Amino acid sequence: HDLCQRTITKNKLDARVELVLEDLRHFDGHHKYDLVTGSPPYFAPEDGVASPHDQRAFCRLEFRGGLDDYCECASRALCDGGTFAFVMAAQDSRCESAPAKHGFGIVRRVDVVFKAGRKPHICVCVCARLGDPRLASPVTETLVLRDGEGKRTRAYRVWQERSRLPSMVPAEDVEAALDDLVRAQDRAALVDAVAAAEALGMRADPGSE
């Protein structure tokens, strides 16, 4: 809680952020929030070894509730038309069952593969209340972070850049800018590619490709 407060202050967000210290299992948001997010612990206490560091132990193991509790809290806090998103272990069947139990459907699911050839390690699930029109066209996709040689994939690079940019910047524009950076054959072309990337708000770093 103290670290979170210091982060808010450092980023000059005190006027915009109200920090509440409370057990989410008892928090009642009165259906007033447009967005609820969370990253529940991935494992039951009997399925892992608890760290001697309390913060790490409670983040990893479900000593104070798990995904089911997060979904229940979201059902109390989310407004009609709002979005609930969470990160969870990809192989856990509760990614599907827990939201459904509390009146949610999955609008979009992204399975994240850390290295090509491996199973998805985590997933990101974006949910809406049952009856939301977005549930008519659910999307499931896979994001591979690194290829077989350990290099960042193009999809991951696009995701990294987009995470820093306003949501209205299309992924296609980011990918095109990255292509221009890589394809630049002379100084003039590189200067133009860098200018175009920076105009989008990207970090023009062709060497990282």
The mean per-residue pLDDT over the stretch 93-121 comes to 97
pLDDT of residue 200: 83
**How far, CA to CA in Å, does 151 sit from each of 54, 116, 120, 146?**
34, 10, 17, 5
pLDDT top residue among 66 and 49:
66
Q: Which amino acid is at 138?
A: P
54, 127, 160, 197 from 148: Cα distances, Å: 36, 32, 19, 28
Q: Measure the CA–CA gap between 154 and 170, rounded to whole angstroms.
A: 15
pLDDT, greater one: 144 or 1: 144
Task: Give the torsion sign (CA, 118, 46, 37, 133).
Answer: positive
Question: 126: which strand partners?
Answer: 85, 108
* pTM exceeds 0.75 for this model: yes
pLDDT at 46: 82
User: CB neighbours of 104 closer than 8 A, spacing ≥ 6?
Assistant: 71, 74, 75, 84, 127, 128, 129, 130
